[in-house]
Structure 1
Amino acid sequence: MRYTLQSGGCAAQVETLGGELVSWRDGDGAEYVWGGDPAYWSGHAPVLFPIVGALKGETTAFNGFSYRIKKHGFARRMEFRLELLEQDRAAFVLESSPETFQSFPFRFRLRVVHTVSGQGFETAYQVENLGQETLFFCLGGHAGFRCPLGEGEAFEDYRLTFEKTEQTGFLCTDAEGILSRDDRLTPDWDGRELPLGYEMFDRDVLVLEQVRSRAVRMQKGPGGPGLEFHFHGFSSLGLWTPPHKKAPFLCLEPWQGLPAFADESGAFETKPGVIRLQQSGVYSAGYSMRIKK
C-alpha cells in the first residue's frame, strides 16, 4: 500500500512493499527520485538486508549450515507493517518470521523511517537483535535519483563531488556480481570530482571501499544545481546505473558489507564489513537528500 507524506510544499510517496520511498517532488512538482521504469530498473530506493550485492552461487553458511539468499537480500521484496504515519513521516517494520528463517536463521526487527521536509528527505534504518545469539548481517541503501534532473540535459553534464578526497580506484564485479581484490577500475579523476559517463558503468556497479566522505553532491557542472547526499553508519559507497542502457538515473548506495569476493570462504560471519550485533543490540544507519539549486 502506498502513502503520501507532505512538508513545506513538497510531497513524497512511500509504500509497504519493501518499506520503500518511491517519490519525492519539490514545491514546483519536480521529481528527484527514479520512477522505476522496468525498461531500465523497477526499483526506487530499496533497503538491502540482510546482504549487500550477490553471494557466490546465492549461497552462504551460518554455523556450518547452508542457506540461499538472493542478490541484495529479501527485505526489498517483502511487505512491511506500517508502524507510524504522520503528515511528514512514516515508519515501516519487518520482523523475522518462518518465511525469513528459510534463508536467514536469526530473529530480528528491521525498522525503516522516512521523514520529508521542504528541502529533501531522510531515510533511517534500525536493526534490532531479538534473539539470544549474535546477529550477523549486512545493510545498505540503494537510492535512485533522476540524472539528468532537467529537460534538455544529459547524464554526462553531471558530476559527483565528494566531501573528502577518495581513493581513485573502484572495486568492480564480474558477470555474476562477485568482487575481485585485484580488479579495480580507475577513471580519470582526482578523488574529489568525478565526471559522469555511461561507459564507466560497463562493468556494472562501482564500489568505493572504506569511503572517507560522509557526503557527496550530484550536480550539473561545477557549482551547478543538483542534490546533496549524506549518509552515516556505512563504510562503503556504491555507484550504479544499469550497464549498456543509458538509463536516466544514478543510484547512490551506502553499504555496510560488500558483495562476495572470489576468495571468500562462504562463512557469512567472516564477510568483509559484516555487522555483529549482540543480544538486544540495536544498529542504526541512514541517509538523507537535500536539493541544491
Structure 2
Amino acid sequence: MQYTIQNNKLNIAIKKTGAELCSIQSVKNNTQFMWDADSSIWGNYAPNLFPIIGSLKEDTYIFEGKKYSLPKHGFIRGNTDFELHEHTETSLTLKLTYNEATLKVYPFKFEFYMTYKLTDNKLDIIHTVKNLDDKTMYFSVGGHPAFKCPVFEDEQYYDYVLEFEHPENSKTHLINTTNGLISNKTKPVFNNTNILPLTHDLFNDDALIFKDLKSKQVSLKSKKHGTILTVSYPDFDYLGIWAKPTGNYVCIEPWLGIADNDDTNQDFKIKEGILTLDAGEIFEVGYGVVVDGGILF
C-alpha cells in the first residue's frame, strides 16, 4: 500500500511498509528522482533507520546486563505495523507503536513517527520519537534515501558529482567488510575541496562514512544538466554516502548514530553516537530534499 502527497511541483509516494519514501516525481514532466529499488541490485528506496544505524557487533548489544539482538539498521525497514496517523494533500505522518515483538529486541516503550511534508519544491522528512517508558531511552535515528543517478537518458554515472556546502578535508572511516563494523582505519577523501566525483568504484569498499564534515548540505549535480537536488541535514552529526557498485543511484544518508566499532564492548549506553531521551519526552529531527527548480519548471 502507498500514500501520496502532491502540490503543483512534486508528486511524492510513501509506502506504508516501513513508512518508506519511494517516489519523488516532477508534476510537470514526470521526471523521477528516486532509485527504482531494483531487487537484483538493492531492493530499497529510502529505509528509515531506528533504533540503530549500521551493524552491531555480532548483531548484539548489551543493556543493563542483558543481551539483545537487532538486525542492521534496526527494525523500521520492512516493518508492516505502521499505522496512518495524519494525511493531508501535502503532508503525511505514519506511526509505529512499540509492541511485543519490539520489546523482545528493544526494551523500551515508544512511539515512532515518520512525517513527510511538501512545501513548494522541498520535501521535509521528519523523525519523531516519543518515550512512553518510565526510564531513559537509548537510540539512534537516520535516513538512507537512494537518489537516481543518472536521472536523464543522455548521461552516465560519471557525469555526476556531489557538491558539498564547504570545502572539506575529511577522511572516510573504513568499514570492516567481514563484519560490517567500523574499523580503526581511515582513508583520505577530500583535500580542501567540496566536490566528490561519482564513480561506481568509489563504493568498492562499502560506504563512505564521515564524522566531521563542516557542510550541512550537499547537492547532486549533473555536468550536463546542473543541480538536480540538494539534501540539507543541519542537525545530523554523521553522513554516509553509498551505493552498490553496480547500482545507478547514490544514497545520501544523514545519521544521528553509527555502526559499532570493531573494538566495542557492546554496552548500548556508551555506544558511539547514541542518543538519550528521558521518560515522557519527545525528540524530533529532520532533513530536507530540495529539487532544483530549473528541472521542475
Q: TM-score interval w.r.t. the shorter chain?
A: over 0.9
Going from structure 1 to structure 2, the CA distance change for 1:265 and 1:73 (only over 3 Å counts) comes to same
- Residue 145 of structure 1 and its aligned partner are, at CA, apart by 0.3
How many Å separate the matches in 1 of 2:260 and 2:45? 24
8 Å contact kept, 2:168–2:191 = no
How many Å separate the matches in 1 of 2:136 and 2:6? 39
8 Å contact kept, 1:94–1:110 = yes
How many Å separate the matches in 2 of 1:223 and 1:283? 38
- Residue 225 of structure 1 and its aligned partner are, at CA, apart by 2.9
How many Å separate the matches in 1 of 2:155 and 2:112? 38
After TM superposition, the structure 1 stretch with the greater mean CA deviation from structure 2, 212-221 or 61-70, is: 212-221
SS of the equivalent of 2:226 reads: coil
Instruction: Tell me which residue corresponds to 2:45.
Output: 44
Residues 157-193 of structure 1 show CA distances to partners (whole Å, capped at 9, x for unaligned) of 1111111233331112112211012x11223653411
Going from structure 1 to structure 2, the CA distance change for 1:100 and 1:190 (only over 3 Å counts) comes to same
- Residue 117 of structure 1 and its aligned partner are, at CA, apart by 3.8
Instruction: Tell me which residue corresponds to 1:57.
Output: 58
8 Å contact kept, 1:187–1:200 = no
Length-normalised TM-score, structure 1: 0.95
Query: Identity across aligned pairs (percent)?
Result: 29
Aligned letter for 2:288?
Answer: S
Where does structure 1 lack aligned partners over 5 or more consecutive residues? Answer: none
Residues 109-138 of structure 1 show CA distances to partners (whole Å, capped at 9, x for unaligned) of 111001124414111111111111110001
How many Å separate the matches in 1 of 2:224 and 2:287? 23
SS of the equivalent of 1:156 reads: helix
Summarize the alignment of residues 74-223 of structure 1 with structure 2, pairs less than 5 Å apart.
Answer: 74-79=75-80, 80-175=82-177, 176-181=179-184, 183-187=185-189, 189-221=191-223
2:70 counterpart of 1:66: no
Aligned letter for 1:62?
Answer: F
Aligned letter for 2:127?
Answer: Y
SS of the equivalent of 1:199 reads: helix
Length-normalised TM-score, structure 2: 0.94
How many Å separate the matches in 2 of 1:73 and 1:168? 27
After TM superposition, the structure 1 stretch with the greater mean CA deviation from structure 2, 221-230 or 148-157, is: 221-230
Instruction: Tell me which residue corresponds to 1:30.
Output: 31
Where does structure 2 lack aligned partners over 5 or more consecutive residues? Answer: none
Number of residue equivalences: 290
Instruction: Tell me which residue corresponds to 2:21.
Output: 21
How many Å separate the matches in 2 of 1:9 and 1:278? 40
8 Å contact kept, 1:25–1:32 = yes
8 Å contact kept, 1:47–1:75 = yes
Runs of 4+ in 1 over 6 A off after TM superposition: none
